[in-house]
Chains A and B, each alone.
Chain A
Amino acid sequence: MSLLVVENLRVTYFRDGVPLPALRGVTFSLSAGESLGLAGESGSGKSTLAVAPLRLLPDNARLSADRLVFDGRDLMAASPRDLRALRGGAVGTVFQDPFSSLNPVLTVGDQIEEVLEFHAGGRDRGRVLALLERVRLSEPAALYGAYPHQLSGGQRQRVCLAMAIAARPKLLIADEPTTALDVTAQRGILDLLDELRRDLKMALLLVTHNVGLLVERTDRLAVLYAGEIVELGPTREVLTNPAHPYTQGLLRSLPRLSRVEPRLPALPGQPPDPRRLPSGCAFRERCAQAFARCAVDPVLRPVTGRPVAVACHLHGGAA
C-alpha cells in the first residue's frame, strides 16, 4: 500500500492578485520505506512540493488536489490540529538552510526536546542525548546546552535531522538538505540520511537541484519542470537513459571528470515565466525536437517496454 498518494496536486501563489502557478498537477506515490528523489532547477516548484503534502504554505498560496492521502488519512480533509500532529510526528522535515532554521535564542537540547514534548510523549533529556548520538554528533552532553551559533553548518544540519526523526516518522522530507553546506559536510549528511532511512525504515522524499547527489541514494527519481513532473522512473534508469529532452539536456550539462570539455553544453533559453507559460508542453520553447503536437499538453505516461514514465509526445505513439 502506498504511504503517500499525491494526485493532480496544484499550488498557486498569488502576488498582488496575479496567480503564479508553482505546481501544475503533480501526481506520484511513495511506498513505505521507499525513497524518491525530486530534481529540478530553481523555480521548478520543488521546494513547494516538499512542503505542500503537509499543507505548510504561506497565506498567499492556494492548494488543490484530487487526492492527497498520507498513511490512509485524507490530508485535504484534515483539520489544522491533525496536520499539526503529522508535522514533526509521522512526517519529519529537514529544511534547506541549517543556519537559519534553528532558533538562535534557544539551546539545541531545548529545541529537540520540544519535538519530543509535542509528538513523543514528553520531554526527556536522555532521549535527546540518544538522538544527538544517533545523528553521529560527538559529545552530546556538551551539545545539549549549546546554542546554534556555536555549531558548524554540518553539526546544525545533524541537529535538524535529530529534530526531524525525534518522533520516528514514517516519512522524512528533506528539502535540499545539503545546499548550504560545503562538499565534505554534504557527503556526511547524505550518508547519514541513507543510514537513518534504512535503520528507521522511513520513506524519504529528497529534493535537490543536484542530480548527481541522487545516484545510488534514491530508489526512484522524478524530474520536475515548471511545476510538472516530466519524467519519473528508477533513478539508475532515468540517469543512464533519459527519455525526456529536458532530462537529457540537464544530464548533458553536468560536468564530468572523464570528459574534458572547453565549455559545458547548457540548455538554451530560460525556464518559463510562471505568469506566461506556453500552451501545451512547458518545455517546447527550449526543446530542439519540438514539433506540432507539442502545442497539446503532454501527459505523464509509461514508455512502452521501460519502467519509466515521461510527459513528452516523442514517446508513446498516438495520443
Chain B
Amino acid sequence: MTCEDAEILLHALIDGELDASHVREVEAHLASCAKCAVLARDYREMKKAMAGGGLRYTAPVELRRRIEASLPQAAVPTRRAVLKGFAFGSAVSAIAATGLVAIVLRSDDAARIQTELVSAHLRSLQAGHLTDVISTDQHTVKPWFNGKLDVSPPVIDLTAQGFTLIGGRLDYVDARAIGAVVYRRRQHVINLFVAQTASTERRAARVDMVQGFNIRHWSDRGLNYWAVSDLAKDELAEFGDKFEGAMKSGTAG
C-alpha cells in the first residue's frame, strides 16, 4: 500500500468504517511507515480531544420555544376540553401558557405524560444525551439550570445514600422545557424530572410501571417530581424517600 492510499484509508480505519481485509492492509502499512504512523497517532489524539461533547452547541431556549410555538399543538384539544369546565376565561390561557403541567390533566393525559417521560428517559440513555452539565457537585448543577427554566429544580447530592449525582439536563416533556437531574445507582440511571405545578399541596408518592420502567411521582411545595428508572420498585422508592427526606432536612443545593 502506498502512503497516498494510506493517508485516505487511515481515516476510515480510525472511524471504524473500514472492512476487515483493508484494516489488515492499513495496519500493516502503519507498522512499516513511520510517517503515516505519526499521522494516525495524531489523528487519534485529536479525535480523543474532540470526543465528549464539548464541541457541541445547545440550542437557545428561546429558539426552542419559537419552534415549539410554530408546531401545531397536538395536545391542545384534550386539555382545552378539560379546562372548559373551570370556566376561568383568559386566566386559564394564562395558566396554560406558564407551563403548569399535570394538575388539571385527565388521566389519559397523565398516561401520555408518563409515556413521554419514559421516551425522554430512553433518549437520555443514548450516547452523549444523558447530561448537558456533568458534575457530581450540587452547587454546579443547580446554577446551571438558572435562566433555562421557569422553575429551579432542587439538586441534592445523595452519594452518601447510595445514589450518585452525575449531572443535569434540559429535556422536553409535554411540549415544554423540563429539568432533569440525573443520578446513578450501580449501572442504573435515574432521571428525576422536575416541573412546576399550580398546587402547593403535598401529594404522596405513587409508583407506576410504564413500558417496563418504574415511575415514582410525587408533588411537594409547588413542584411535580417524576423519578424514572429501570431500578426495581423498592429501590426507586428508596431513592424517593431519601430525596424527600433530604428536602425536609433542607440540604438541597
- Report if A and B associate in a common complex: no
